[in-house]
Amino acid sequence: MRNKSFIAALILIIGSGLLPVVFFDLDSAQASGVYVTGYISVCGDGVAHGDEVCDGNDLKGKSCQDFGFSEGTLACNVTCDAFDTSNCYTPPTPPGGGGGGDLARETGANFSGKAYPNQSVTLLKDAQVIATTITGSDANFSLRVTGLTSGIYIFALYSEDYQGRRSTLLTFPLSITLGTITNVTGIFIAPSIDLDKSEVKRGDNIAIFGQSAPQADIVISVSSDEEFFTRTISDKDGIYLHNFDSSVLEYGTHYTKSKASISNLAIISSFSHSVNFLVGTKNVLKTAPTKCPNKGDLNNDCRVNLVDFSIAAYWYHKSLSSAMKETECEKLNCDEAINLTDFSITAYYWTG
Amino acid sequence: MRYLYFTSLFCVLISVFYIGGTVYAAELFFEPKIQEVGVGQEFQVSLILDPVGEEINAVAAKLSFPEDLVEVVEIRDGSSILTLWVEKPALQNGKIAFAGIVPGGFIGILGPYEEPKPGKILEVIMRTKDVGQGEFTIEEAQVLLNDGLGTPADFQASNFKLQASRDIEVVPIETFPDTIAPEPFTPEIAQHPDMFEGKYFLVFSATDKQSGISHYEIQEVKNGIRETKWQRAESPYLLQDQALRSYIYVKAVDRAGNERIETIESQHPVRWHDNWWIWIIIILGSMIICIIWKILRKRD
């Protein structure tokens, strides 16, 4: 009996040591709300990660024999997405021409994944737009940046849905090494989101809608004191719509956001922007969506970029003019001063 | 059985302590955290941000150091995670002050199959002046969340401890020559009623991943031919030619002297009849033709 107690105690001690570790991971992931969507591999580092077919001398155990040749040296191509069999051969045929020597490698990064069908995807490098593309009907996109040097680059991606609503900015701070191509695959841009009403009469439905990839599993969160989750599936155009019954909500302001996943591809997006609505005594329809960011756009050009940053920087730690006070109140945090908080708001709504 | 009871109680208390006491806060710290150096020796200290699961998009602080013990040789921001400086790192009243943002937020540097890594904000090259002990501290720090509201993040700041003594051999800092020009950038002409009385101004921002940007220079030329004389400038820059007829050249110079020049074409190019010298040529030409014609008529 005493031995049994001792073993049980030992298990509990080990268990108590592990418990905080398990909770740390879960809690930090949930509390922070920070999700990294995408798989990163570096072509040129000699290790075949993720979607890389091979990388340098890492041929994942393959040889010329696997490609129908009896002799020769199998190599990896410069983009790590295919084998180079140019030096494989079968006697008496001499080795195929070309090859030999190191292949000159570019320094760059590839980004690929899913956004919204037939919509634009914009890539920023260190806060400035560097490339844009249009997705296919399957919402797939691929972007390539070359001509980089060695160092830390902050890349960011966003998309716009069929009515011009922008997704959240998805950032990828990457350490780029000279002569390597960093591949970021499996990116899934967060869904766009909007509502049909700014105020809903308690008990009536409020429509929550937006766009994601086709046939994506959409999880919608409606939160106030208590958080409600509901699911829907986007159609072939990636559009989703859910009529949420407001009777479960208390009077007051509530927030909603959504995220998407495609289980067969094992990809999951981060949460969308959060939009708010009021549960009250009447229904008030929401105005048509605007392409312009809610905040940060100080010069009203529907973009948040270096110009807006410069306007804010001009007034940083200065007494604001009456006109600038109005702009600051409308487009920033309305504290009659330009300080770091205003720049943080600008950084959140950044479009490049 | 009593043994099991007490152990169970101990385990539960430990678990509650761990779970309840776990604080997820970003960290702002120096690297290295402690260093021994010789007098007259140059050494390098980096300020690092670890978001620890948060998404940070703005950081500002003042770095205080013992002025009787060390002097600043150089401040480097080339490898910073902050892409835009509200206040470029500089000495202000004996402290290194900075403020900057990361549009879209920073969650750590991503790598294959790795947890996000902390990122460097800036590095300082310092030289010891005297024997003694000292501490570098982070003051008036602000670390803001990328939540659209500028909510202050919970963060912990830790100091750097320095011991300067005579009996330590001076080891030079390893430096790599920077021969790479700053990254390509896109200057932009803008106008806003609340700036420069509504006049046109120019905004620009370049990055250099090696030594960092030293300064910018500008030329506004109407004929488009670049001159040798450049004017030092900062963004935002009030344009001299408000008619926007000039070609604008913006030169970004890194700390190693490498240059990148970007051009903005003239918005309203000078038309041929806007050039006074063309009219003089036309008038002189017409006069010469008239004179020749008269001479020829007289001969006839």
What pLDDT is attached to residue A37? Answer: 64
Distance in Å, alpha carbon of A94 to nearest chain B alpha carbon? 39
Contact B205 A15 (CB under 8 A): no
- B176 interfaces chain A, CB cutoff of 8 Å: no
| % residues pLDDT > 90 (chain B) | 72
In this complex, the residue of A36, A306, A313 whose CB is nearest that of residue B86 is: A313
**What is the pLDDT averaged over residues B130-142?**
95
Contact A124 B110 (CB under 8 A): no
Is the pLDDT at A231 greater than 70? The verdict is yes
Contact B11 A13 (CB under 8 A): yes
What pLDDT is attached to residue A12? Answer: 44
Closest CA to B139 of B203, B192, B61: B61
**What is the pLDDT averaged over residues B144-153?**
96
Which of A7, A348, A349, A350 has the highest number of chain B CBs within 10 A, making it the mutation to test binding with B?
A348
Give the C-alpha separation, B119 to B83, whole Å. 12
Structural domains of chain B, with CATH:
25-165 (2.60.40.680), 188-269 (2.60.40)
Contact B7 A2 (CB under 8 A): no
Residues A332-351: tens digit of each pLDDT: 999 999 999 999 999 999 99
Residues A235-257: tens digit of each pLDDT: 999 999 999 999 999 999 999 99
Question: For A7-16, A200-209, B3-12, B187-196, which range has the lowest pLDDT when averaged over its residues?
Answer: A7-16
Three-state helix/strand/coil letters over B33-96: CEEEEECCCEEEEEEEEECCCCCEEEEEEEEECCCCCEEEEEEECCCCCCCEEEEEEEEECCEE
Task: List, as one string, the DSSP characters of A143-180.
Answer: EEEE---SEEEEEEEEEB-TT-PBPPPEEEEEEE-TT-
Residues A52-88: tens digit of each pLDDT: 888 888 888 888 877 877 788 888 888 888 888 888 8
Is the pLDDT at B19 greater than 70? The verdict is no
Higher pLDDT among residues B240 and B268, named by residue = B240
A·B CB contacts under 8 A: 224
- B101 interfaces chain A, CB cutoff of 8 Å: yes
Q: Which residue of B lies nearest to A175 if distances are taken between CA atoms?
A: B109
Is the pLDDT at B36 greater than 60? The verdict is yes
- B194 interfaces chain A, CB cutoff of 8 Å: yes
What pLDDT is attached to residue A7? Answer: 52
- A127 interfaces chain B, CB cutoff of 8 Å: yes
Contact A173 B110 (CB under 8 A): yes
Given a contact cutoff of 8 angstroms between Cβ atoms, the answer to whether A93 and A83 are in contact is no
Closest CA to B101 of B80, B122, B85: B85
What pLDDT is attached to residue B275? Answer: 73
pLDDT band at A13 (very low <50, low <70, confident <90, very high): very low
Q: What is the layout of strands, in order, in the sheet containing B231-233?
A: B231-233, B213-221, B247-254, B259-264
Contact B107 A349 (CB under 8 A): no
Distance in Å, alpha carbon of B55 to nearest chain A alpha carbon? 7
- A16 interfaces chain B, CB cutoff of 8 Å: yes
- A169 interfaces chain B, CB cutoff of 8 Å: yes
Question: For A88-97, A282-291, B140-149, B279-288, which range has the lowest pLDDT when averaged over its residues?
Answer: A88-97
Give the C-alpha separation, A15 to B285, whole Å. 101
What pLDDT is attached to residue B63? Answer: 97
Is the pLDDT at B232 greater than 90? The verdict is yes
Q: Which residues in chain B have Cβ-Cβ distances shorter than 8 Å to A147?
A: 184
What pLDDT is attached to residue A119? Answer: 97
Structural domains of chain A, with CATH:
32-105 (no CATH), 107-188 (2.60.40.10), 194-285 (2.60.40.10), 306-348 (no CATH)
**What is the pLDDT averaged over residues A311-316?**
96
Distance in Å, alpha carbon of B239 to nearest chain A alpha carbon? 14
Beta bridge partners of B144: B58, B152
Which of A2, A344, A346, A349 has the highest number of chain B CBs within 10 A, making it the mutation to test binding with B?
A344
Residues A91-114: tens digit of each pLDDT: 754 443 444 444 457 899 999 999
Is the pLDDT at B3 greater than 60? The verdict is no
Q: Is A11 helix (H, G, I), strand (E, B) or coil?
A: helix
Q: Is A342 helix (H, G, I), strand (E, B) or coil?
A: helix
What pLDDT is attached to residue B175? Answer: 75
ipTM score assigned to the predicted complex: 0.83
What pLDDT is attached to residue B5? Answer: 54
Beta bridge partners of B63: B96, B138
What pLDDT is attached to residue B52? Answer: 94
pLDDT band at B8 (very low <50, low <70, confident <90, very high): low
Q: Which residues in chain A have Cβ-Cβ distances shorter than 8 Å to B123?
A: none
Given a contact cutoff of 8 angstroms between Cβ atoms, the answer to whether B127 and B42 are in contact is yes
Q: Which residues in chain A have Cβ-Cβ distances shorter than 8 Å to B210?
A: 149-151
Is the pLDDT at B169 greater than 80? The verdict is no
Q: Is B288 helix (H, G, I), strand (E, B) or coil?
A: helix
What pLDDT is attached to residue B168? Answer: 81
Contact B107 A348 (CB under 8 A): no
**What is the pLDDT averaged over residues B283-293?**
94
What pLDDT is attached to residue B6? Answer: 54
The CA-atom distances, in angstroms, between A119 and each of A134, A344, B284 are 5, 28, 60
In this complex, the residue of B108, B146, B194 whose CB is nearest that of residue A327 is: B194
Is the pLDDT at A17 greater than 80? The verdict is no
In this complex, the residue of B15, B112, B144 whose CB is nearest that of residue A16 is: B15
The CA-atom distances, in angstroms, between A250 and each of A54, A205, B218 are 56, 14, 59
- B118 interfaces chain A, CB cutoff of 8 Å: no
Closest CA to B64 of B129, B146, B139: B139
- Please provide the average confidence, as pLDDT, over all residues in chain B: 89
Q: Which residues in chain B have Cβ-Cβ distances shorter than 8 Å to A153?
A: 209
- B112 interfaces chain A, CB cutoff of 8 Å: yes
Distance in Å, alpha carbon of B147 to nearest chain A alpha carbon? 7
Contact B236 A310 (CB under 8 A): yes
Task: Provide the whole-model pTM.
Answer: 0.79
- A30 interfaces chain B, CB cutoff of 8 Å: no
Reply yes or no: is the peptide bond before residue A191 cis, omega within 30 of 0.
no
Closest CA to A184 of A154, A149, A210, A209: A154
Which of B52, B57, B88 has the highest number of chain A CBs within 10 A, making it the mutation to test binding with A?
B57
Given a contact cutoff of 8 angstroms between Cβ atoms, the answer to whether B104 and B25 are in contact is no
